Structure 1
């Protein structure tokens, strides 16, 4: 590819971005699109079409860019929580490191590459891309020290920035733990692998075990039931509600009432009907379903008096058989993935191995379409596959579009199938929390992307040739050193297509926009669409950003022309993602920055890979001194990673006892709320989080913000008070 082909691809993507950015600035001003572009505000405080008609509503503007730029971290923290702030810190870190890399490499490395050989240069528009890579440098040239110096500057800058970000995010995580209100998950552990006994139920086994071995701190427990039982109870309540709907009822908000599935307490409604002024009788799940004991799962939530006791119980081996009485800290109530709690713990390791094998098989199969995409970048291969295109490719513009722009578009289209499949595999694994499932999917997508998009594309050619490359692992760095400069043009166009264009599509929210249009203007529904609220897709955006980071590091000294395009991408990402986190995405649960260790480890991998490739490149260029000078940099990178692992990463895996004990003492001094321990059971009420559709009255449909269900990306009303009304109706009917 020559520079004119790269400019053609850049022009196409710039045009797409300009059109979509302008279209977004117009669409966001239309009152009918409030549920699409202001979802966070819309679901909690519905807005009507009170905006007066004016010409300005149809004129593109850039005011939203300034508002996103001026937004503070405090506003972002309030809107999206710690995870939103951490994601933006990833963007800021990438922006800072590649500003440094761009300045150093464009001013120092790029001229060395361009004038690396004694040759007559053509006009820049018709210059081949290869003259801007390290492949154009003469073997044995002393100017290769410029590349070694640039690599040292980039590596040490990354060390400093990584350390500062890791330290800051660790403090933010601890501040979130200590500064928040008493979180039910801090006092709760999840127990799985409860042994079966013929003498009594699982519930009795849990009570006997923890009252015996934790007599001073054990409070109560809540069993997990099979989903079919919970759905049966929901169906009965819904059916009874439909029968009693014509009866006039008055709902008055009252104090604490029992949660009829779990036995705990929760804020409910008082039912006043035909002179009945009070309703105090408690209905348990066993009264509604006599065979409920048979429906119990070997899993339970166990509640403790303080945080420290819960952490100790979660981290200690409970039995001589590690497969029994397996404990862990419970996820937040809204983070629990209820359908996976019924999976027997003995099946979990089988599921993990199976999902891993399926992921590896998918990676292997995906190598074939990636190899096909690489064939599209070569005109000779393309004419061999499609002889009829030979005449068409003689046109210079068509040739540039087909070989420069089309392959990256095809690869991006294929990559859209990866996140849903990886999310499904993460669900099959048996993860008990939504955040854990999304983090697992993020790691799978990241590994898949690095392998298929980076390595398989670098080793271009037939699939047999790609496999033969790995026959000798010691040859791998040298193969990378030979192949990567040739693939720099493809990855530059990939950054343009997958980076710039994807940000524009992220702004438009095409799926939600089309759905909103159909509901309002084709179906003519009078109700506002409330099932378009989304949580932030960490499992798609973080892998893409880390892949671009990998490309930036590895090509910084090999083909620095990619760096300005990456820099523009990260700058646009800073504005776009900040706008989306403030206005569009809804936070349902909080992982308190658990994605940052993934980012840190991937960045270290990118640095080490870059340094190893640099050693091989210098060796191939007959510069043994520069090659030997790079080896200490690899050692220092590994030592730095080990220090960060010892210093910071443990905080993301375990809760510090010192912090928990201080929080417990503070609660004792201030006095804990009366009935706090009873409220723990209602927080982990299984029925409240599985119920989706039961609504008692239209008057209460806007009583609180709807919560988003990630599986079908729909916003669901999971208010447990609604279903409890139906259960109370059942009791009254009796």
Structure 2
């Protein structure tokens, strides 16, 4: 990602380019290659190395598919469908996958998966049109220029840098950039209108925060009945700190399943099993002091009873640990809308604008002026264990995590830091003498993809540690953070010839530096070749690795190694599937889409490879959603946020053309002024749309009242209680000797998996 990574041509091409354009400032012409002079990694190759990289990446993709077929056959328990299906061949899977419809995916994966795939289809259709326009119109126009040499193997001839300064065909590029922006808006608007998100009974329920922790359920009910006499309160559910209770329940559940597993073996085979209870104890081949083996049934029975005792103690005091949050369920959606409108409407008094909800006799006792109200999200979307972290504690945690994240990525924003360090120690010295596109183009693009896959993982886990209250909010924040980070790492910094955010801030705030030096790096003749190679690597190697799901396989392997017994290993097999990370996947897709759209005019060759990426990405995601991941229930805001984020791609394309016109023609040129005006209008419209979308809830007129009743009172009341509290009565009444069990087929054909017949959050996905 240093200039030697981003720019794929020799120094002689650079001198020729600046001589032809009439530049006389040597520092401007040589800055983008100042770092490359001592680099041993990249040198110029034929046509930017695109044919060689394409061949190598396709070969790697075929090898990955072969490895996937082997893993798929040897580790059939590695995936969600493996929990309830027989071991079928890869050919059978592909046959089922090719013939499965959206209805099948909706039934198995949920509505959010359909919206996500629908979004990808709109991007694919958009890139089909952009590919035809770029290849049939923009590419011939670029080739018609005579600024660069006539070498047919020169990648620079296909870029906008090949056009003369006074060529009127530059207007065509601006017009097509505007067309691309309009097409993006049309396709995204069509997708937004077609999104059908079922709100269900949750719109009858309000989530209210800021109550005093000693507030009683009856007091809250009386307040709403007096303050809003036209609204009927069906139920009030107070939130409690259930993090420890949930942990104890899960641990006891696993111990009970292990007891049932070994009890079944004893009943069938007539022998008792002994295990080493230390982590990785099954690797110990002899009984030595500290590694004694214990009877499996006795050990897990003790663990189960211990967790049960702690669970019952925690259950007795759980109602003494309220969180100051409550779910209020109304009879009709219109009633919930009326109350929410009253809370969120702005009423100005003097210089202060604040909400003044309807008072009651209990207003002062409940401190209603401190309340914040919103529609309740779906119960499956709530992170119940995270609700206990709130207020200053949550914000302090958020600040510390993001401060550490920013400091860690400030100097390590791009892989160029690693490449530069390798060059200093002459690690890559032999590559300099090879002068082969295999090592000069394939290696850096794969390295860039590897780091662009690794570093956002850090952002992903940092978002998890922030402890958001809802999965939708977690995914949405994750999508924004990963997308911004990837765009800086993959597109903006390397295009400007910068190596990290450290250099970026020094460039912005250092008055002695000249911005023109960096901006000229964007439009050197072979600048787009590296981004073409990156998109190719993402298409074949990136999508192939997503099919393998190596991070998940590594985590699965570690959990299997740490398991103490065969019963725990069966439990790992049953619970190794995870929910699909919509936030991270949206960010990945939009990152490559933004790179493609940003260079669709200046380097039109990149567009068909972007289309290939989206086609493969869509295919891989459909397969993973159907076979590998658990369904997720999210709010529609994350899908609309992805739509808004997609609009940044054509705006960046306009930015690139504005910089090009500014450097070639100056700010007073008609093309520059026109591009600048269009860019300002586009940014103003997009920001206005986004801001009004965020502030829409402040206006009462934006609430549409629906007089539909809630679907089933019992369903509404049951939903907004965490699942560990819903089973507490059954768990308390259940004795270890009276456990009801059911036998189910295990992914391992030689054993049977004994599952406790108790309603659990995890087992709901397996029914």
TM-score by length of 2: 0.70
- Residue among 502, 505, 513 paired with 1:467: 505
Q: Partner residue of 1:152?
A: 178
1:679 aligns with 2:715: no
1:223 aligns with 2:267: no
1:331 aligns with 2:372: no
Q: Partner residue of 2:539?
A: 499
Following superposition, the deviation at residue 638 of structure 1 comes to 4.4
* C-alpha contact 1:101 1:154 (8 A) present in aligned 2: yes
- Residue among 73, 82, 103 paired with 1:74: 103
Q: Partner residue of 1:270?
A: none
Q: Partner residue of 1:303?
A: 329
* C-alpha contact 1:480 1:613 (8 A) present in aligned 2: no
Alpha carbons of 1:675 and 1:85: their partners in 2 closer, same or farther (altered >3 Å)?
A: closer
Alpha carbons of 1:419 and 1:205: their partners in 2 closer, same or farther (altered >3 Å)?
A: farther
Q: Partner residue of 2:482?
A: 445
Alpha carbons of 1:386 and 1:92: their partners in 2 closer, same or farther (altered >3 Å)?
A: same
Per-residue displacement from partner, 1:309-343 (whole Å, max 9, x unpaired)? Answer: 33444451558978832222222222211122112
Superposition map of 1:124-143 within 5 A: 124=153, 127=154, 129-143=155-169
User: Aligned partners of 1:75 and 1:344: how far apart in 2?
Assistant: 40
* C-alpha contact 1:110 1:561 (8 A) present in aligned 2: yes
Q: Partner residue of 1:413?
A: 450
Superposition map of 1:24-173 within 5 A: 24=68, 28=72, 30=73, 33-36=75-78, 39-40=80-81, 42-43=82-83, 45-47=84-86, 49=87, 68=97, 71-117=100-146, 120-124=149-153, 127=154, 129-169=155-195, 172-173=196-197
- Residue among 438, 454, 471 paired with 1:434: 471
- Residue among 188, 208, 231 paired with 1:191: 208
Q: Partner residue of 1:251?
A: none
Q: Partner residue of 1:620?
A: 663
> Secondary structure at 1:299's aligned position in 2?
strand
Per-residue displacement from partner, 1:412-445 (whole Å, max 9, x unpaired)? Answer: 3333444443344434545211222122111111
* C-alpha contact 1:195 1:325 (8 A) present in aligned 2: no
Task: Structure 2 unaligned segments of length 5 or more: list them.
Answer: 1-7, 9-44, 265-310, 344-354, 358-362, 748-753, 762-767
Alpha carbons of 1:23 and 1:240: their partners in 2 closer, same or farther (altered >3 Å)?
A: closer
Q: Partner residue of 1:488?
A: 528
Following superposition, the deviation at residue 569 of structure 1 comes to 0.8
Task: Structure 1 unaligned segments of length 5 or more: list them.
Answer: 52-56, 249-284, 377-381, 706-715, 724-734
User: Aligned partners of 2:427 and 2:717: how far apart in 1?
Assistant: 75
* C-alpha contact 2:741 2:757 (8 A) present in aligned 1: no
1:342 aligns with 2:342: no
Per-residue displacement from partner, 1:147-173 (whole Å, max 9, x unpaired)? Answer: 22332332232232222222222xx12
Per-residue displacement from partner, 1:541-579 (whole Å, max 9, x unpaired)? Answer: 211111111111111111122222111111112222222
1:454 aligns with 2:494: no
Alpha carbons of 1:700 and 1:683: their partners in 2 closer, same or farther (altered >3 Å)?
A: farther
Following superposition, the deviation at residue 33 of structure 1 comes to 4.4
* C-alpha contact 2:327 2:376 (8 A) present in aligned 1: yes
User: Aligned partners of 1:162 and 1:8: how far apart in 2?
Assistant: 35
Alpha carbons of 1:23 and 1:346: their partners in 2 closer, same or farther (altered >3 Å)?
A: closer
1:536 aligns with 2:580: yes
User: Aligned partners of 2:66 and 2:251: how far apart in 1?
Assistant: 51
User: Aligned partners of 1:703 and 1:660: how far apart in 2?
Assistant: 49
User: Aligned partners of 1:402 and 1:244: how far apart in 2?
Assistant: 56
Alpha carbons of 1:498 and 1:109: their partners in 2 closer, same or farther (altered >3 Å)?
A: same
* C-alpha contact 2:333 2:706 (8 A) present in aligned 1: yes
1:611 aligns with 2:654: yes
User: Aligned partners of 1:345 and 1:579: how far apart in 2?
Assistant: 41
Superposition map of 1:557-572 within 5 A: 557-572=601-616
Alpha carbons of 1:570 and 1:535: their partners in 2 closer, same or farther (altered >3 Å)?
A: same
1:360 aligns with 2:412: no
Alpha carbons of 1:291 and 1:409: their partners in 2 closer, same or farther (altered >3 Å)?
A: same
User: Aligned partners of 2:499 and 2:254: how far apart in 1?
Assistant: 62
Superposition map of 1:503-582 within 5 A: 503-511=543-551, 527=570, 529-582=573-626
Per-residue displacement from partner, 1:470-516 (whole Å, max 9, x unpaired)? Answer: 23899869844642545422222222223321211222233555777
User: Aligned partners of 1:89 and 1:5: how far apart in 2?
Assistant: 34
**After the TM superposition, which of the residue ranges 454-463 and 557-566 deviates more from structure 2?**
454-463
Q: Partner residue of 1:393?
A: 432
> Secondary structure at 1:406's aligned position in 2?
helix
**After the TM superposition, which of the residue ranges 354-363 and 639-648 deviates more from structure 2?**
639-648
How many pairs were matched up?
A: 629
* C-alpha contact 1:371 1:456 (8 A) present in aligned 2: no
User: Aligned partners of 1:349 and 1:467: how far apart in 2?
Assistant: 26
Alpha carbons of 1:75 and 1:681: their partners in 2 closer, same or farther (altered >3 Å)?
A: closer
**After the TM superposition, which of the residue ranges 92-101 and 295-304 deviates more from structure 2?**
295-304
* C-alpha contact 1:13 1:501 (8 A) present in aligned 2: yes
Alpha carbons of 1:210 and 1:612: their partners in 2 closer, same or farther (altered >3 Å)?
A: same
User: Aligned partners of 1:659 and 1:73: how far apart in 2?
Assistant: 30
* C-alpha contact 1:608 1:634 (8 A) present in aligned 2: yes
TM-score by length of 1: 0.73
> Secondary structure at 1:224's aligned position in 2?
strand
